[in-house]
Amino acid sequence: MGASSDPTQDGSDEQQKRSEIYTYEAPWHIYAMNWSVRRDKNEFCGPLTSFDWNEAEPKRIGTSSIDTTCTIWDIEREAVDTQLIAHDKEVYDIAWGGVGVFASVSADGSVRVFDLRDKEHSTIIYESSEPDTPLVRLGWNKQDPRYMATIIMDSAKVVVLDIRFPTLPVVELQRHQASVNAIAWAPHSSCHICTAGDDSQALIWDLSSMGQPKFGMILPTFQHRMLSKNTEDMEK
């Protein structure tokens, strides 16, 4: 008996072959794609966006990924310790806050804190005031773990948070003239943070008055601006 010539059956088979296996809504334009030739690729997560080393427990590192997960690695065993579905969208940054505690930020606009003793739950510390506005970078104050800071995508401000009082920023640092790209807490001080942006400026802020009643607007204590060669020539 020959093969079936039923066009309905053939159409059903073709539809099954075309079934969708994965959908990814990229926040940027996609110009090309390729198929991985690595057979072991299915054991790993999607592209990684950031990682952080646990200073309190040096055998552990954490990575964040666009597949919504955060993965904790034991580098002594060269193995995954645990993997958590951390957010509803891409995770852009991860930061340790102590032994077994880390936080992450995501395209879903939230800052979430995780305690590895309870892997089923997380605490939302902050959410963007505008829905679905991505948070792209996170810095946890190692000298005073009560405080962390985050960057909003395409925003010139930095949001400083107190984990004891979720949802409301302690202060918003607004002095950059273009999008902020990076933040770093001082390793020697609990009240200084440096921010850098597309305006070619690096600003150092003294937050020692943060949290005091009516402390007012905080201004940077130090400002450094990188000049391009063309700008230097014009100013001569």
Look at residue 129 in the predicted model and tell me its pLDDT.
Answer: 85
Mean pLDDT of the region 157-185: 94
Helix (H, G, I), strand (E, B) or coil at 98: strand
Q: Report the distance separating Cα 181 and Cα 217, nearest Å.
A: 22
Which strands, in side-by-side order, build the sheet including 60-65? 48-53, 60-65, 69-74, 79-85
Tell me the three state secondary structure of residue 134.
Answer: coil
**CA 145/CA 165 separation, integer angstroms:** 13
Mean predicted confidence (pLDDT) in 37-55: 72
Predicted pLDDT of residue 210: 72
pTM above the 0.75 mark?
Answer: no
Of 7-21, 71-85, 173-187, 201-215, which gets the smallest average pLDDT? Answer: 7-21
- Please state whether beta strands 135-140 and 122-127 pair in parallel, antiparallel, or not at all (unpaired): unpaired
Task: Write out the two tokens for 71.
Answer: 């993965």
> Any idea where the domains of the chain sit in the sequence?
24-179
> Which residues are within 8 A (CB) of 114 and not within 5 positions of it... i.e. 6 or more apart?
70, 84, 86, 101, 102, 103, 104, 122
Is the model more confident about 3 or about 38?
3
Q: What is the mean pLDDT of residues 135-140?
A: 97
What's the whole-number average pLDDT of the chain?
82
For residue 47, give both structure tokens.
């592209």
Mean pLDDT computed over 56-67: 95
pLDDT in tens, 90-109: 999 999 999 999 999 999 99
Average pLDDT (197-212) is 87
pLDDT of residue 17: 52
Q: What is the CATH number of domain 24-179?
A: 2.130.10.10
What does each C-alpha distance from 127 to 14, 132, 133, 188 come to in angstroms?
Answer: 44, 9, 9, 29
Task: Answer with the residue of higher pLDDT: 35 or 83.
Answer: 83
Phi, psi of 184 (to 5 degrees): -155, 125
pLDDT over threshold 60, residue 153? yes
**Lowest pLDDT segment from 95-99, 160-164, 183-187, 226-230:** 226-230
The reported pLDDT for the residue numbered 193 is 96
Select from 108, 95, 110 the least CA-distant residue to 167.
Answer: 110
The SS3 call for residue 42 is: helix
Cα–Cα distance for residue pair 140/25, rounded to 1 Å: 29
Task: With a cut of 80, say whether residue 152 has pLDDT above it.
Answer: yes
- H-helix or E-strand spanning residue 229: helix 229-235
Q: Which structure tokens are listed for 220?
A: 């940077």
